[in-house]
Amino acid sequence: MAEIFAEYKTFIIFLHVISAVVWVGGMIAMRFAAHPSFMQIESPAHRLERIAHALKGLFTIVLPFVVILLVTAIFMIKGYELSASEYSSFSHAKEGIWSIMTINLFVMIIRRNRAVKLLNEGDMAGAKFSLELIGKYMVPANIILGIIAIFLGTTLSNSF
């Protein structure tokens, strides 16, 4: 693994960075550009339907990049021997952040699917509650965690 990292270092770091761009950037665009626009839709049913549809698109786009982020991180952990280095705490912090972000993402996927089911059953209040949690707390939490992970990455790359 360390040999592969040494040979393809630029490409592996590129994949790591572009994955963070898509994951964190996608959530920021959804929360701060698309979401306020959806809120202008007057019909609650139509509004919730559009939000659920857009979230499905976002989750489908980011999922492969979540995996690429982890795979490239493993290459860097091995390639830089991070666990045995003085930067191990940074590496562990980033591993923890990735794990929390990924668990949060899967809970959001489950909540969105439940909201769609409730919408189809005509339970508008239940669907609204499920989607509200995603928009108000879960996406912002992942944006903040992602920004912290990017800052730690910048600190690491500056230290090598």
Q: Which residues bind ligand HEM (CB under 6 A)?
A: 13, 16-17, 20, 23-24, 69-70, 73, 76-77, 80, 91, 94-95, 97-98, 146, 149-150, 153-154, 156-157, 160
Between 8 and 129, name the residue whose CB sits nearer to ligand HEM.
8
Indicate the residue among 43 and 160 with the shorter CB distance to ligand HEM: 160
Q: How far is the CB of 46 from ligand HEM (least distance, A)?
A: 33
Question: What is the smallest separation between the CB atom of 71 and ligand HEM, expressed in angstroms?
Answer: 10
Written in H, E and C, the secondary structure of the chain is: CHHHHHHCHHHHHHHHHHHHHHHHHHHHHHHHHHHHHHCCCCCHHHHHHHHHHHHHHHHHHHHHHHHHHHHHHHHHHHHCCHHHCCCHHHHHHHHHHHHHHHHHHHHHHHHHHHHHHHHHCCCHHHHHHHHHHHHHHHHHHHHHHHHHHHHHHHHHHHHC
CB of 52 to ligand HEM, least distance (A): 24
Q: How far is the CB of 7 from ligand HEM (least distance, A)?
A: 14
Alpha carbons 41 and 56: distance in angstroms, whole number: 19
Considering beta carbons, is residue 95 or 132 the nearer one to ligand HEM?
A: 95
Q: Which residue is nearest to ligand HEM (CB)?
A: 153
Cβ closest to ligand HEM, residue 45 vs residue 144: 144
